[in-house]
Amino acid sequence: METKAGDPGAFAHFDLNRVDSPAFVVDAAKLRANLQVLAEIRDVADIKMLSALKAFSMWSVAPIIGEYLDGVCTSGLWEARLASEFYDGEISTYCAAYKPDELEEVCRLSDHVIFNSPQQIERARLILEQARHTSGDFDIGLRLNPQVPTGEVPRYDPSSPGSRLGFPIDQLEPEHMEGIDGIHFHNLCEQDFEPLHRTWDKVFDAIEPYFGQLKWINMGGGHHITRADYQREELVEFLKDAKDDTGAEIYLEPGEAVALDAGILVGTILDAGVNEVPFAITDVSATCHMPDVIEAPYRPAMLHENPQSGNSPVRLGGPSCLAGDVIGDYHLPVPCEPGQRIAFLDQAHYSMVKTNTFNGVPLPSIWLWDSETDALEQVKSFDYEDFRNRLS
């Protein structure tokens, strides 16, 4: 899987030795620039735009996000709690399956509570009635599976055959729509406009009979709107038409697009050697710090990598004992020797939220940099107690 991001932007001039290692560094100026693009799309198309916490939940920048967007979408109780504590605006919650003892609090915290199937809604009927009585008003939504595969990697494609995500659209019957305030579908992964248009063609036909009923339609995330080559004019016209055709409020909930190219992961070479190919061990771990490198898999871009340098590529791996803890082969911009700093691009989204401490590998610290003012602040650091307290 090829990453579609990796523009260094202002990080091209950032001194990697200003932070400890390993460390995530997020550029507030780039974050604002991304949010400005999203807000402009929202305003021109007259829709609602939410930030997906599942991709980027660095709550220290919640005030910045609140300046531009309408709220956030969450993936369950803990993210909903985080949203209610730190973020402004609406909270839309979807979970593949809610635990009954958590659902009432989810309803209390959320403006939209979206279910994975009509059967889930029916089983939760008494809880929902109680929540309306005690917690106030909230909308009930149903996630549909469009059954339109669009993804490059099947495991990341919600419409792949056998997917558990969303109610299959070819099974939708009128009785399933009783009491439904809104429809949700999420079918993209780091994609541009065409897959959304193709997905909507299928969804439109299935939900057209309910246009007078639906208060809102949430078209999910995976929209790479802030990427330079995204077809934004086409998107705006599409959103306007969708709103006119359906009479419903239209929502998008981008995740990657909020923090696209807004963060790097800084690391240090710890050791180097040769075993048929040159290799280096770093304090950055694919397993612990960038698990999508293994899960997708994909190769993250490196700051200042120069394939035309004539240098032999070096296989970089983490410090863990896992043989597969390999990041990739790179033409290093620095000598392959202990103490040299390197950085991987576009690591603010999904990497930061997926970190773990397998093997006791330390978590990267988190820094906030503003490339416009050059202000730099360590937002969070982790120590042994963070590792210890996750265990028993």
Token pair recorded at residue 196: 């959304």
What percent of the chain clears pLDDT 90, i.e. is strictly above it?
A: 92
* Residues whose CB is less than 8 angstroms from the CB of residue 347 and which lie 6 or more positions away in sequence, other chains included: 24, 263, 264, 265, 290, 300
Strand bridging mode 341-345 / 375-380? unpaired
pLDDT for 152: 79
What percent of the chain clears pLDDT 70, i.e. is strictly above it?
A: 99
Average pLDDT (128-154) is 92
CATH topology identical between 9-25+262-388 and 46-259: no
Average pLDDT (234-246) is 98
- State which amino acid sits at residue 110: S
Q: Give residue 1's pLDDT band: very low, low, confident or very high (50, 70, 90).
A: low
pLDDT for 151: 82
Give the class (CATH, top level) of 9-25+262-388. mainly beta
Q: Quick check: 2 pLDDT over 70?
A: no
What are the pLDDT digits (tens) for 275-303?
999 999 999 999 999 999 999 899 999 99
CATH match of 46-259 with 3.50.50.60: no
Q: Give residue 386's pLDDT band: very low, low, confident or very high (50, 70, 90).
A: very high
Mean pLDDT of the chain: 96
If phi over 0 gives left and psi between -120 and 50 gives alpha, with beta otherwise, what is residue 147? Answer: left
Average pLDDT (307-314) is 88
* Residues whose CB is less than 8 angstroms from the CB of residue 208 and which lie 6 or more positions away in sequence, other chains included: none
* Residues whose CB is less than 8 angstroms from the CB of residue 49 and which lie 6 or more positions away in sequence, other chains included: 38, 39, 41, 42, 69, 70, 251, 252, 253, 254
pLDDT for 4: 67
Average pLDDT (349-356) is 97
**Which residue, among 253, 327, 266, has the nearest Cα to 296 in the 3D structure?**
327
Partnered with residue 333 across adjacent β-strands are: none
pLDDT for 265: 98
Token pair recorded at residue 304: 């200042």
Sign of CA dihedral 208, 214, 219, 220: negative
- State which amino acid sits at residue 247: G
C-alpha angle 151-153-156 in degrees, rounded to nearest 5: 75
Average pLDDT (352-364) is 97
Domain ranges of the chain: 9-25+262-388, 46-259
Is 46 or 190 the better-scoring residue by pLDDT? 46
Q: Tell the residue number behind the tokens 């305030």, with chain if given.
A: 181
Average pLDDT (232-242) is 97
